[in-house]
Structure 1
Amino acid sequence: MQLQYKTAPNNEVSDSIGLLISILVRYPELGTINYDPVLQQLRFTFIFSCVLDEEKLVNFKDTVVASIQAYNAFENRVPLVTDVRFNPCEEFTMLEVIRDVGTLTQEELSMIIELVHHNFKKDLIFEKNDNLLEEDLLIQEELIEHMLENIKISYPEKNLIAFREDGRVLVFNK
């Protein structure tokens, strides 16, 4: 996946756009990401190819929330927002994980992705990206951590949504 985007003159906007792009490039398991500047939250959406069992989803929600709480307790942080929602549709299921920007870290995001992968790998819809090398993935992780820290300080005002389409990452101002 090729990354090409122009940075806006406003660093707050370019950091928030860059963050969404880097997250989608690094984690192809994610279908969309929404950034809400008013609530200071990121909403990560995963899409599954079938209607998943509600009991399994409820158990997964409990696992994710407990894991996020434990991870943050270990790091001496208290997350402000930790929410997991699922929306079964006719032929697929969408799972949303909502986190506050202030306490979210790249490592926690990696943990969430790994939990999704471990529990739903066969049903998860994602674009494979075999072009990224291990060092590219590490660079993306560093960029994510850096831009997350910048957003915690600058509070960008743009309500953004990012998603993948045909191998490209698209970001829009909602």
Structure 2
Amino acid sequence: MEIEAEDYNQKSDSMELVISLLLQYPQVNKVNVNLNSQEVIFTFLIQRELSISGLKEFKSKLNQSLRLYGSLSQIDVAQIKIDYKCCGDLTELEITSGLCNLTEEVISFIIRFIYNEFGTELLSEDIVKDNSTVENEIINELLENLKVNNLNQRLVGFREKNKVLVFNKANN
């Protein structure tokens, strides 16, 4: 019975992380957490079509900024993967990061960078936040808890009509 309770707590942590990230960062459209591959994918919507050259420049600037941030903060910042899909006048930007070096501070840095890069073109939902400091601590704690578990779990969460929806994408 103890093992089942521990498994439930780990699944609960991953679900709580997805919800916390979506509530804390209204600029994030969707969050995928894949504990099997130890990755987190953040999806952003930009209200314009990105060119290939624009994306290359963005990737270079973001990776360079992350290296500098890691150096100044004396933390090991994992390399990120950037992908995108254009859908008419809308671009879906995906930022994939390994879970092992991901912290709330790194997430916050990436989101601020994206906001500074795209400004009002970055689609964002209006959310009233209560206590950012407490939420940041919760996100860091949840990230730490998930780094040590061995669950084969894949969750996706997104916003729809002022609600956060989370689904388990387990392979059956």
- TM-score strictly above 0.5: yes
Equivalent pairs, count: 164
Tell me whether 44-53 or 15-24 shows the greater mean CA deviation: 44-53
Tell me whether 120-129 or 96-105 shows the greater mean CA deviation: 120-129
Residue correspondence of structure 1 range 85-124 to structure 2 within 5 A: 85-124=83-122
In structure 1, the partner of 2:45 is 47
Residue 116 to residue 78, structure 1, CA distance change in 2 (3 Å): closer
Is the contact made by 2:35 and 2:151 (CA closer than 8 Å) also made in structure 1? yes
Q: Which amino acid aligns with 2:25?
A: Y
In structure 2, the partner of 1:75 is 74
In structure 2, the partner of 1:58 is 56
Q: State the TM-score, normalized to the length of structure 2.
A: 0.87
Specify the SS of the correspondent of 2:55: helix
Q: Which amino acid aligns with 2:32?
A: N
Q: Deviations over 1:102-124 (max 9, x none)?
A: 01111000000000110112111
Q: Deviations over 1:120-156 (max 9, x none)?
A: 1211111111x223xx111111110010010011233
Is the contact made by 1:40 and 1:155 (CA closer than 8 Å) also made in structure 2? no
Return the match for 1:132 from 118, 129, 133. 129
Q: Which amino acid aligns with 1:160?
A: L
Matched, 1:157 2:152: yes
In structure 1, the partner of 2:19 is 21
**1:78, CA displacement in angstroms?**
5.5
Is the contact made by 1:61 and 1:84 (CA closer than 8 Å) also made in structure 2? yes
Q: State the TM-score, normalized to the length of structure 1.
A: 0.86
4+ runs deviating over 6 angstroms: none
Q: C-alpha root-mean-square deviation of aligned residues, in Å?
A: 1.9
Uncovered stretches (5+) of structure 1, i.e. residues with no partner: 1-7
Identity %: 31
